[in-house]
Structure 1
Amino acid sequence: MSVTPSTARRNVDYRLLLPAVTAWAVTSAVIGLEPNRHPPLFMAALVVAVSSCALLATKGPRRSIHRLTAAVLLTAAAAATTTALHTADLHRGPLPALARPPAPLTPPPPPTAPPPFTVPAPSTGPGQSDSEDERAAAGRPVGERPVNPEVTVQLTVTGDPKQRGPHPGGSPLSRPTLTVPALVTRVRLDPVPHSGSASDLTTRTRTPVTLLIRSQEDYPWRQLIPSTELELRAEVLPERPTASGGRSRTDSAALLVPQGPPRVTAPPSLPQRLAAHLREGLRDACDHLPPDSRGLLPGLVVGDVSRLPDDLADAFRATDLGHLVAVSGANLAIILAVLVGGTSSEPEAPVRGGLAGVLGLSFRTTALLGTVLTLAFVTVCRPDPSVLRAAATGLIGLLALATGRPRSGVPALAGAVLILILVDPQLARSYGFLLSALATAGLLVLGPRWTAALRARGWPRHLASAVGATAAAQAFCSPVTVLLAPRVSLVGVPCNLLAEIAVAPATLLGFGALAAAPLSKGTAEFLTDLAALPVGWLATVARHGAELPGAELAWPAGPFGAVLLVVVILSLAWAVPPLLAGHRSRSRRTRGLVALAVALLLPVVLLRPPSVVRLATGWPARGWRLAVCDIGQGDMTVLPVGPGSAVVVDAGPDPKAADDCLRGLGVTEIPLLLLTHFHADHAEGIPGVLRGRSVGAIEVTAAEEADGERSRVLRWAGAGGIPVVRAQRGERRTVGAELAWQVLWPTSPLAPEAEGANNSSIAILATVGPSAAPLRVALLGDLEPPAQAAVLALGLPPPAPPAPPPAVQGVPTVPTAPTVRAAPPATTNRTSARGSADGVSVAGSGADGAGRSVLAGSAGSAAPSGPGPPGVGRVDVLKVAHHGSAGQDWSLTAALRPRLALISCGEGNPYGHPAARTVAGLRALGAMVVRTDRSGDIAVLGDARTLAVATHPRPARG
Structure 2
Amino acid sequence: MRRANAGRRIPGPGGRVREEDEAAVSGARPVPGRRGRQAVHADSGKRLGEAHPRQEGPVDLRLVPPALAAWATAALTLDAAPGLVGGLVAGCLAAAVILLVVRRDRARNVPVMPGRPRSAGPRVTLGAVDGAGTTGRRRVWPRVTVAASLLCAAAAAASAGLHGADLRRGPVPTLAGRYASVTAEVELTSDPRLTRPRVRGDHVMPDSVMIEAEVRRVETADRTVVATRTPVLLIVDAGSRGGGGGRRAGPHVREESGGGRGPGGGEGSGGAKGPEGRPEALWLALLPSTRLRVAGRLAPALARGDRFAAVLRVRDGAAPSAVGRPSAAQRAAGRLREGLRVATDGLPADARALLPGLVVGDTSRITPELDEAFRETDLAHTLAVSGSNLTIILALLLGPPGLAQQVERRGLAPRLGVPLRATAVLGGALTLGFVVVCRPDPSVLRAAACGAIVLLALATGRRRSLVPALATAVLLLVLYDPWLARSYGFLLSVLATGALLTLAPRWSAALRGRRVPPRLAEALAAAGAAQALCAPVVAVLSARVSLVAVPCNLLVEFAVAPATVLGFAVLATAPVAMPVAEALAWCAGWPARWIAGVARTGAALPGAAIDWPGSWAGALLLAVVTVVAVMFGRRLSRHPWLCAVCGVLLLLVVVRPPPLTRVLTGWPPPGWRLAMCDVGQGDATVLAAGDGAGVVVDAGPDPALVDRCLHRLGITRVPLVVLTHFHADHVAGLPGVLRGREVGAVETTGFEEPVEQARFVRKEARARNVPVVRAVAGERRRVGALEWEVLWPPPLPAPEPEGPNDASVTLLVRSAGLRMLLLGDLEPPAQRALSRSPAAALVRGVDVLKVAHHGSAYQDPDLIRAVAPRLALISCGADNPYGHPAPSTVAALRAGGAVVLRTDRDGSLAIVGGGGEGGGGGGELRVTRD
TM-score for both structures, normalised by structure 2: 0.79
Tell me if the contact between 2:218 and 2:226 (Cα under 8 Å) persists in the aligned partners.
Answer: yes
- Superposed, 1:133-282 pairs within 5 Å as 149-170=180-201, 173-191=204-222, 199-200=223-224, 202=226, 204-216=228-240, 217=278, 218-237=280-299, 247=304, 249-251=306-308, 253-259=310-316, 260-282=318-340
Match of 1:788 in 2: 828
Deviations 1:809-846 (A, max 9, x none): xxxxxxxxxxxxxxxxxxxxxxxxxxxxxxxxxxxxxx
Counterpart amino acid of residue 84 in structure 1: G
Identity %, equivalent residues:
48
Match of 2:74 among 12, 27, 30: 27
Deviations 1:625-657 (A, max 9, x none): 321112233321112222222211121233332
**1:408–1:765 distance in 2 versus 1, CA, 3 Å:** same
Query: Which whole-Å CA distance do the structure 2 matches of 1:184 and 1:886 have between them?
Result: 48
Please say if 1:705 is aligned against 2:753: yes
Counterpart amino acid of residue 237 in structure 2: I
**1:206–1:318 distance in 2 versus 1, CA, 3 Å:** closer
Counterpart amino acid of residue 334 in structure 1: I
Q: Offset at 1:523?
A: 1.1
* Number of aligned positions between the proteins: 805
Query: Which whole-Å CA distance do the structure 1 matches of 2:581 and 2:679 have between them?
Result: 43
Counterpart amino acid of residue 300 in structure 1: L
- Superposed, 1:598-637 pairs within 5 Å as 598=646, 600-637=648-685
Deviations 1:285-339 (A, max 9, x none): 1111111211111111111222234433333333322222333211011112123
- Structure 1 SS opposite 2:199: coil
Please say if 1:930 is aligned against 2:930: no
Counterpart amino acid of residue 638 in structure 1: V
- Structure 1 SS opposite 2:60: coil
Query: Which whole-Å CA distance do the structure 2 matches of 1:750 and 1:227 have between them?
Result: 57
Query: Which whole-Å CA distance do the structure 1 matches of 2:421 and 2:813 have between them?
Result: 80
Counterpart amino acid of residue 378 in structure 2: D
Query: Which whole-Å CA distance do the structure 2 matches of 1:69 and 1:748 have between them?
Result: 83
Tell me if the contact between 2:675 and 2:908 (Cα under 8 Å) persists in the aligned partners.
Answer: yes
Please say if 1:578 is aligned against 2:635: yes
Match of 1:584 in 2: none
Please say if 1:465 is aligned against 2:465: no
Match of 2:164 in 1: 87
Please say if 1:392 is aligned against 2:449: yes
Match of 2:363 in 1: 305
Please say if 1:945 is aligned against 2:922: yes
Match of 2:561 in 1: 504
Query: Which whole-Å CA distance do the structure 2 matches of 1:897 and 1:92 have between them?
Result: 66
Query: Which whole-Å CA distance do the structure 2 matches of 1:681 and 1:248 have between them?
Result: 33
Match of 2:820 among 752, 776, 792: 776
**1:399–1:605 distance in 2 versus 1, CA, 3 Å:** closer
Match of 1:110 in 2: none
- Structure 1 SS opposite 2:363: coil
Match of 1:337 in 2: 395
Match of 1:821 in 2: none
Counterpart amino acid of residue 776 in structure 1: M
Tell me if the contact between 2:355 and 2:563 (Cα under 8 Å) persists in the aligned partners.
Answer: yes
Deviations 1:407-426 (A, max 9, x none): 83222222222222222222
Q: Offset at 1:256?
A: 1.0
Please say if 1:597 is aligned against 2:637: no
Match of 1:828 in 2: none
Q: Offset at 1:525?
A: 0.9
Query: Which whole-Å CA distance do the structure 1 matches of 2:822 and 2:306 have between them?
Result: 43
Query: Which whole-Å CA distance do the structure 1 matches of 2:588 and 2:794 have between them?
Result: 50
- Structure 1 SS opposite 2:71: helix
Counterpart amino acid of residue 945 in structure 1: G
Match of 1:438 in 2: 495
Q: Offset at 1:494?
A: 2.1
- Superposed, 1:463-612 pairs within 5 Å as 463-581=520-638, 591-598=639-646, 600-612=648-660
**1:418–1:738 distance in 2 versus 1, CA, 3 Å:** same
Tell me if the contact between 2:60 and 2:467 (Cα under 8 Å) persists in the aligned partners.
Answer: yes
Tell me if the contact between 2:701 and 2:732 (Cα under 8 Å) persists in the aligned partners.
Answer: yes
Contiguous gaps of at least 5 residues in structure 1: 102-147, 192-198, 241-245, 582-590, 800-863, 865-869, 954-958
Q: Offset at 1:914?
A: 4.7
Query: Which whole-Å CA distance do the structure 1 matches of 2:144 and 2:306 have between them?
Result: 37
Deviations 1:666-697 (A, max 9, x none): 22221211123334433232222122322111
Q: Offset at 1:620?
A: 0.8
Match of 2:149 in 1: 72
- Superposed, 1:732-751 pairs within 5 Å as 732-745=780-793
Query: Which whole-Å CA distance do the structure 1 matches of 2:486 and 2:856 have between them?
Result: 35
Larger displacement relative to structure 2 (462-471 or 201-210): 201-210
- Superposed, 1:699-848 pairs within 5 Å as 699-729=747-777, 731-745=779-793, 754-755=802-803, 757=804, 759=805, 762-771=808-817, 774-781=818-825, 783=826, 787-795=827-835, 797-798=837-838
Tell me if the contact between 1:168 and 1:634 (Cα under 8 Å) persists in the aligned partners.
Answer: no
- Superposed, 1:121-140 pairs within 5 Å as none
Q: Which has the higher contact order (CA 8 A, sep 6+)?
A: 1
TM-score for both structures, normalised by structure 1: 0.77
Query: Which whole-Å CA distance do the structure 1 matches of 2:487 and 2:220 have between them?
Result: 33
Counterpart amino acid of residue 565 in structure 1: L
Query: Which whole-Å CA distance do the structure 2 matches of 1:441 and 1:402 have between them?
Result: 17
Query: Which whole-Å CA distance do the structure 2 matches of 1:448 and 1:82 have between them?
Result: 36
- Structure 1 SS opposite 2:689: strand
Q: Offset at 1:603?
A: 4.3
Q: Offset at 1:794?
A: 4.4
- Structure 1 SS opposite 2:726: coil
**1:165–1:709 distance in 2 versus 1, CA, 3 Å:** farther
Q: Offset at 1:183?
A: 1.5
Match of 1:136 in 2: none
Please say if 1:45 is aligned against 2:89: yes
Tell me if the contact between 2:391 and 2:455 (Cα under 8 Å) persists in the aligned partners.
Answer: no
Q: Offset at 1:32?
A: 5.0
Counterpart amino acid of residue 481 in structure 1: V
Match of 2:874 in 1: 903
**1:640–1:415 distance in 2 versus 1, CA, 3 Å:** same
Larger displacement relative to structure 2 (494-503 or 10-19): 10-19
Match of 1:285 in 2: 343
Match of 1:412 in 2: 469
**1:439–1:213 distance in 2 versus 1, CA, 3 Å:** same
**1:239–1:427 distance in 2 versus 1, CA, 3 Å:** closer
Match of 2:102 in 1: 58
Deviations 1:600-629 (A, max 9, x none): 435433432211101110101233232111
Match of 1:13 in 2: 60
- CA radius of gyration, larger in: 2
- Superposed, 1:637-656 pairs within 5 Å as 637-656=685-704
Q: Offset at 1:440?
A: 1.1
**1:201–1:797 distance in 2 versus 1, CA, 3 Å:** farther
Tell me if the contact between 1:227 and 1:272 (Cα under 8 Å) persists in the aligned partners.
Answer: yes
Tell me if the contact between 1:167 and 1:680 (Cα under 8 Å) persists in the aligned partners.
Answer: no
Query: Which whole-Å CA distance do the structure 1 matches of 2:795 and 2:185 have between them?
Result: 50
**1:794–1:740 distance in 2 versus 1, CA, 3 Å:** closer
Query: Which whole-Å CA distance do the structure 2 matches of 1:286 and 1:618 have between them?
Result: 48
Tell me if the contact between 2:828 and 2:860 (Cα under 8 Å) persists in the aligned partners.
Answer: yes
Q: Offset at 1:890?
A: 6.0
**1:511–1:324 distance in 2 versus 1, CA, 3 Å:** same
Q: Offset at 1:279?
A: 0.5
Tell me if the contact between 2:453 and 2:469 (Cα under 8 Å) persists in the aligned partners.
Answer: yes
Tell me if the contact between 2:792 and 2:807 (Cα under 8 Å) persists in the aligned partners.
Answer: no
